Amino acid sequence: MSVAMHAGSLRARLLRRLALQSMAGLGVVCVAVYVVIFLTLDQRQNQTLDMKREAVEHLLREGRGAHDLDSVRHLLNDFLAGHDELTLSVADNSGHIFLPPQRAASADVKVERFPVPLPPDLGGAGTASLAFDQSKDKELLLRLAWTLGFAAVGGSLVLSAAAALGPGANSRPFVHLSDRPLQ
C-alpha cells in the first residue's frame, strides 16, 4: 500500500469527500426528476378523470336516443372501449347499481364520484363512480426510482474512480507547467 493512499492521508480523505459530494449532488438531481415525473403523472390522472367525467355527464345528458337501461349500458360500455385504466359504475338514487364496473379494480385507484342525469325510467338521476387504475403508473415510478438510484450510485462510483486514478502518466508534462515563469 502506498503512502499516498493511506486511510488517513489527505488524498484518501479528499476522495471520500468527493464520493459523498457527488452522491449527494446526484441524489438531489434524481429526487428532483422523480418528483417532477410523479407530479406530472398525478396531474395527467386528474385531467383524465375530469375529462372523462365531463364526457360521461354529456353522454347521459344528451342520451343520443338512450332512454332505457340497455341503451344506457351500451352507450357507456362503448365510451369505455380502449380505456383500460378506467372503470365506471353507475347507480340510481336508491343505490341500485345498474352499470357495475366492467373489471375488478386494483388496490391502487383514484376514484371520482359525481351526480349524473339518467333517463326518466331509471329514476332521472343517479351517481357515477369513475375509477382510474394507478397500478401502471406506480410500476413506472418504481422502475424510475430504481433506475435513478442506480444512476446516482453509478455516477458517484465513476467520478470517484476517475479521481482515484488521478491525472496519470499522460499528464506528467503538465506537472511542471507551474514551474515555468509567466510570459
Tens digit of each residue's pLDDT (9 = 90 or more) over 85-131: 888 888 888 888 877 877 666 778 899 999 988 777 777 788 999 99
Q: Hey, what amino acid is at 134?
A: Q
Portion of the chain with pLDDT greater than 90, in percent: 33
C-alpha cell at 117: 342525469
- Confidence at 3, pLDDT banded by 50, 70, 90: very low
For the stretch 12-70, pLDDT in tens is 788 888 888 988 999 999 999 999 999 999 999 999 999 999 988 888 777 655 556 77
Tell me, letter by letter, the H, E, C secondary structure of 102-171: CCCCCCCEEEEEEEEECCHHHCCEEEEEEEEECHHHHHHHHHHHHHHHHHHHHHHHHHHHHHHHCCCHHH
pLDDT over 60 at 11, yes or no: yes
Three-state secondary-structure class, residue 86: strand
pLDDT number for residue 146: 97
CB 11 within 8 A of CB 4: yes
Q: Hey, what amino acid is at 72?
A: V
Tell me how far apart the alpha carbons of residues 17 and 10 are, in angstroms, rounded to a whole number.
10
C-alpha cell at 54: 365531463
For the stretch 154-172, pLDDT in tens is 988 888 888 778 765 455 5
Q: Whole-model pTM above 0.95?
A: no
pLDDT over 90 at 4, yes or no: no
C-alpha cell at 101: 364496473
Closest CA to 32 of 150, 146, 145, 137: 145
